[in-house]
């Protein structure tokens, strides 16, 4: 029963509760961040352009301090494929925080021109979001998980580096786990096997010709040799963006003029300069190793498999009832 007004008029409310995948509350956050070059990021140089990016915080149904999954988009911005994940996590009783790293920078997409934004800026955004969440009264700071897709998956993967935390994470908090989907693993950073003592779970497709799984396997081998808790799950017949299958998408298309570093090997050199390992010159997106027109497409079957794998992992990690 719902009562209102000075005369206390009361009306019966529906006994039916709202669906579990609908958030109890949504909050929009302005996140102060920076736009800097990759070299500035790698050397800790904060002399960049002050920007404000956005975050959408959907608080799941439930009481008290809840776990959160932070979601970082790829080169096309926050798209429709993010929604099934948000709703799925909310239905599990996990709040979600979706970062929009583009709008506040005047960008909508960077696929055809990846040089528009340094690849490491998203990590600054991610740590700044963590700072907001760690202080929120409805968040359990010990149960915040980071998940990202493509360019956001790359940021998710490398946000686990101890060195980057020391340089940029001022939140006093730590992510409970890192879940990159089809990241670009073609860059080797100094001390990049020194990751935080948290699980990393990578999900990738075998035929991905945007960010090939082979470079991630090479990085995985180095991480496993360093005794890190990292697992890569690989799905056949799953192109880049295969989790669009959660929307029922099963077609494969060319991502017209999108730049792929699939043939590149990039290494961090002196003074934080990213070098083309083949030419020994500073890497640029005009290098001969850059190719165009990779494929993207959903696979409903493997998307569901991956969603279940992520759910099972989070169920155990976050000790959900």
Query: What is d(CA 192, CA 188) in angstroms, rounded to the nearest whole number?
Result: 7
Q: Collapsing DSSP states into helix, strand and coil, what is residue 218?
A: helix
pLDDT value at residue 67:
98
Answer yes or no: are the C-beta atoms of 40 and 94 closer than 8 Å: no
Per-residue confidence of the chain (321 residues) as pLDDT tens digits? 334 334 333 333 344 589 999 999 999 999 999 999 999 999 999 999 999 999 999 999 999 999 999 999 999 999 999 999 999 999 999 999 999 999 999 999 999 999 999 999 999 999 999 999 999 999 999 999 999 999 999 999 999 999 999 999 999 999 999 999 999 999 999 999 999 999 999 999 999 999 999 999 999 999 999 999 999 999 999 999 999 999 999 999 999 999 999 999 999 999 999 999 999 999 999 999 999 999 999 999 999 999 999 999 999 999 997
266-268 and 295-297 as β-strands: parallel, antiparallel, unpaired?
Answer: unpaired
Q: H or E stretch including 164?
A: helix 162-168
Q: Tell me: the pLDDT tens digits for 9-52?
A: 333 334 458 999 999 999 999 999 999 999 999 999 999 999 99
Show the beta-strand stretches assigned E in the chain. 2-4, 9-11, 25-35, 49-59, 66-72, 95-100, 139-149, 177-181, 187-188, 200-205, 230-235, 252-254, 259-260, 266-268, 274-276, 291-292, 295-297
């Amino acid at each position: 029963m719902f009562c209102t007004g000075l005369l206390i008029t009361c009306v019966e409310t529906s006994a039916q509760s709202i669906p579990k995948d609908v958030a109890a509350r949504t909050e929009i956050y302005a996140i102060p961040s920076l736009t800097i070059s990759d070299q500035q990021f790698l050397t800790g140089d904060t002399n960049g352009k002050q920007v404000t990016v956005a975050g959408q915080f959907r608080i799941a149904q439930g009481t008290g301090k809840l776990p959160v999954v932070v979601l970082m988009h790829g080169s096309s911005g926050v798209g429709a494929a993010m929604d099934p994940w948000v709703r799925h996590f909310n239905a599990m009783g996990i709040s979600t925080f979706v970062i929009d790293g583009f709008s506040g920078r005047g960008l909508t997409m960077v696929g055809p021109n990846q040089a528009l934004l340094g690849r490491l800026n998203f990590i600054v955004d991610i740590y700044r979001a963590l700072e907001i969440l760690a202080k929120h009264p409805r968040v359990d700071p010990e149960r915040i998980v980071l998940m990202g897709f493509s360019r956001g998956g790359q940021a998710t993967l490398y946000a686990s580096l101890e060195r980057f935390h020391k340089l940029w994470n001022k939140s006093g908090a730590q992510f409970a786990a890192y879940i990159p989907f089809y990241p670009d693993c073609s860059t080797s950073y100094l001390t990049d096997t020194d990751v935080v003592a948290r699980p990393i779970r990578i999900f990738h497709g075998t035929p991905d010709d945007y960010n090939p799984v082979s470079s991630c396997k090479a990085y995985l081998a180095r991480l496993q040799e360093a005794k890190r808790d990292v697992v890569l799950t690989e799905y056949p017949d799953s192109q880049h963006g295969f989790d669009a299958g959660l929307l029922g998408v099963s077609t494969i298309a060319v991502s017209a003029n999108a730049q792929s570093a699939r043939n590149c090997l990039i290494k961090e050199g002196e003074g934080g300069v990213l070098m083309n390992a083949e030419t020994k010159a500073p890497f640029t997106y005009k290098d001969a190793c850059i190719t165009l027109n990779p494929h993207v497409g959903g696979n409903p079957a493997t998307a569901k498999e991956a969603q279940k794998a992520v759910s099972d992992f989070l169920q155990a990690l976050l000790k959900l009832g």
